[in-house]
Amino acid sequence: MTSPAPYPEKCRLPFILYPPAMWANPMGGDFAPAHLGLERSAGDYVLYLSIPFCRVRCKACPYFVRTLDENDDTGVEDRYVTALIADARRWAAAPRWSAGRLRAVYIGGGTGSILSTANLRRLVTAITSSFPAAPDLSVTLEGNARDFDDEKLDFVAHSAINRVSLGVQSFDPQVLRVVGSPHAAQESLRTIDGLARRGFQNVQVDLMYNLPGHDLDVWRRDLETLRRLHVQHFTIYLYRVHAGTAQDRLIRKGAVPAPRDPDSEEVIGMRRQAIAVAEAMGYRQYMFDHFARPGFESAYNRWTFKEAVDALGIGAGAYSFINSYRTGTSKDVQGYIDAVEQGAHVISTVSQQMTPRVRRERFVIFAFQYWHLDLAAYRAKWNSDFLDDFGDIARRLERRGLVEITDRHVVLTELGRDWRMNVLLEFVNPAFWGEAGALEQPNWAMNLPMVELVAGRRTQWLGDPITQ
C-alpha cells in the first residue's frame, strides 16, 4: 500500500536563495559604505566572479548570458575584465575583506572559461594578489570544454586555479543537439584528458538527466563514460524547461519531445542508476545532486552553505551575501563597465537586513542541503539550541517521517530526501509568503524562481500546518 504524499505538490527548485525578496537599491553606490560593514573584518568569506558571456544560449537556459563572438570585434571582453579587476581591487581594499580570509573562489557565469588565456591570467593574478587567501584556497573555473586549447590547458594546470567544473550535460551528440547545447562529447573527453596529462586531477562534471530523447539506455552510456574518465566529482541535475524559453516553445509546437514526468519509473530509475554507479566507483553523495571522491568535496559549497560565511559577488549579474544583506549587481554589462569606470560600487538590488531569526532560517535551509543539521554546530554558531528555535517545525517533520532527530543531528530520511525542497520551505519565514510586491522589483533568472514561488501561497507546497 502506497503511503500518502507528505505535501500537496513536490517542489523541484534546484536550489534556494534566501531570503528570496530583493528590492531596487535607492542609494546607489552609497549603500555599500552605509550598510555593508566594510570597516569590519568578515572573517572567512568566498568570492564569486561573474563572467556573463556564452558562445550560444542553450534552448532551455533561463539565466542571464550575453553571447560573445570568438572574434570579439567590439573588445567587450577586454573592457569587461578590466572593469572586473578594478572593481575587485576596490572591494579588496576595504577592511571587511583585507582583514578577512578568502577561502574559495568561483569563476562562473555565463561561461568562466570563455575568457582568453591572457584575460584569465590577468583576472586570476589580480584576485590572488589583492585578497588575503587561506593556504588551502580553492579556485574553481567553470566552463565549456570547447574553450580549452593547449595554451589554456597549460595555463590552468600551472596556475592558482585548482579545480575545473565542466558543463558536460550528456556525452550523447544527438541529445546535445536537441537541447541546443554548446558542449561536445569529444571535446569534454579531450579537455579532461589534456588536464590529466598535465598533472591536473581535480575535475568535476555536470550531467543532466531526463533531457528530451534521453532514455535509460543513453543515461547508462553517459554513466559508463563517466566511469572511464576518473573525475573526482560529478553532479546530476534534472532537466528543467522554463516557461518562455526556446525549448518551451519547441515543445509546445511538438517539434521536440517533452521530458518525462519526473516521478515516472524511468526517471526515478535514472537517478537510482547514478547513485548505484557512484557508490560502485567510490564516490559519496555528500549533498543534493553532488557526488565526490573523499577529499574532493566542493570547498566553495562548504563555505557558502555549510559555514554560511559572507559571499562577495563581483561582476554583472552577481549576487552577494554581506553583513546580513543579500545584494545583486545588474546584468547590464555596459552599465556595469560604465559604473566601475566612474568609481562606484555597483549594487542594483538589496534585501532587507536579516534579523537574527532570518539568519538562523538561512543557516538551517543551507545546512540541510548536506542532508543533515549538526546540533552542536548550530549551538556554536548561534548560542542557542536548534530545538528551542525550530522545535515545532522539527517535530512536525519527524511526525511525518521526513527527519530523524538524534542527540547529535537532525537527519533527512529517505522520504525527506525525496521531498527535500519542500522540507527546506518549511523554514521559510511566514512573513515572506505572499510577498507579491517583490515580483515587480529587479530580478534576474537566478533569483526569480524563488521569488515567484514564495510570492504565492504557502499551502500550495506545505499544506495546512494545523493538520500536520
Q: What is the distance between the alpha carbons of residues 224 and 281, in angstroms, rounded to a whole number?
A: 11
In the chain (468 residues long), the average pLDDT of successive 10-residue segments reads 83 92 94 97 98 77 68 88 98 98 95 96 98 98 94 98 94 80 76 96 94 88 90 92 76 83 92 93 94 97 96 96 97 94 92 97 97 97 98 97 97 97 97 94 86 95 74
Note the Cα 92 to chain centre separation in Å: 23
3-class SS string, 422-468: HHHHCCCCHHHCCCHHHHHCCCCCCCHHHHHHHCCCHHHHHCCHHHC
Q: What does the pLDDT read at residue 175? A: 82
d(CA 320, CA 6): 34
What residues contact residue 290 under an 8 Å CB cut-off, 6+ apart?
Answer: 233, 235, 297, 298, 301
Q: What is the pTM of this model?
A: 0.94
Pick the CATH number of 23-306 from 3.40.50.150, 3.80.30.20, 3.20.20.70, 3.30.230.10: 3.80.30.20
**DSSP letter (8 states) at residue 305:** I
pLDDT at position 205 is: 96
Tell me whether strands 163-169 and 203-209 are parallel, antiparallel or unpaired. parallel
Name the grid cell of 359: 539568519
Cα–Cα distance for residue pair 402/396, rounded to 1 Å: 9
Half-sphere CA count of 286, side-chain side, radius 13 A: 18
Neighbours of 43 (CB within 10 A): 13
d(CA 299, CA 47): 12
> In whole angstroms, what is the distance from residue 255 CA to residue 260 CA?
15
Domain ranges in the chain?
A: 23-306
- What pLDDT does residue 71 have? 74
HSE on the CB side for 164, CA within 13 Å? Answer: 28
